[in-house]
Copies of this chain bind each other. A is one copy, B any other.
Amino acid sequence: MAPRSCSIANALEIVGERWSLLALREVFFGNTRFDQIVENTGASRDVLAARLKKLVAADVLEKVQYSSQPPRYEYHLTESGRALHNVMLMLKEWGDTYVTEGPLPLVWEHSCGAVLEPRVVCTSCGEEATFDSLHRAPASAAS
């Protein structure tokens, strides 16, 4: 039996390997160079080189030259990469709530001044999108 085809699986194909999301976290934090990412994630250099290459190939990151003699590159987020911010946000929220013990190592403040408590809502009606408020259907089924 073929496994279920699904965008979650497709997404994990790109960013689901070990270190990929942590590397992206560093880029979100502004640490865009190889050695910075190595330091802050704790990944080994070879694996990180492979992950970055894959993320560039998948158009999540792009290499931007910041020095020509010698050629040196920074990794910047593409539109697709920036869109992963929401995933990070929810992952951080879950970790804060259910995994991390003691004081939180990092706090994200929203521009309104409050410490961010992210909530997922339906763009259409503005109500919260909870597990129970969703109906999951194979795309082929027309309403």
Partner of A122, one of B11, B118, B139: B118
Interface SS of chain A? mixed
Assess A136 versus B106: contact at CB under 8 Å? Given A10-B95, A42-B2. yes
The number of chain A residues with a CB under 8 A from chain B is 82
Contacts of A135 in B (CB 8 A): 108-111
- Minimum C-beta distance from A27 to chain B (A): 11
Q: Do B86 and A94 have beta carbons less than 8 Å apart?
A: yes
B residues less than 8 Å from A8 (CB atoms): 21-22, 25, 88, 91-92, 95
A30 to chain B: closest CB distance in Å?
A: 9
Closest to A143 in B: B109
A51 to chain B, nearest CB (A): 13
Chain B nearest CB from A138 CB (Å) reads: 6
A11-B99, A16-B18 known; A86+B120 contact, CB < 8 A: yes
Known: A7-B100, A12-B21, A82-B131. A105 touches B41 (CB 8 A): no
- Asked if A5 is an interface residue, CB under 8 A from chain B, the answer is yes
How would residues 109 to 143 of chain A score, 1 for a CB under 8 Å from any chain B CB and 0 otherwise? 11110101111111111010111011111110000
**Which of A's residues lie within 8 Å of B, judged by CB?**
1-14, 16-18, 21-22, 25-26, 28-29, 39-42, 58-60, 80, 82-100, 103-112, 114, 116-125, 127, 129-131, 133-139
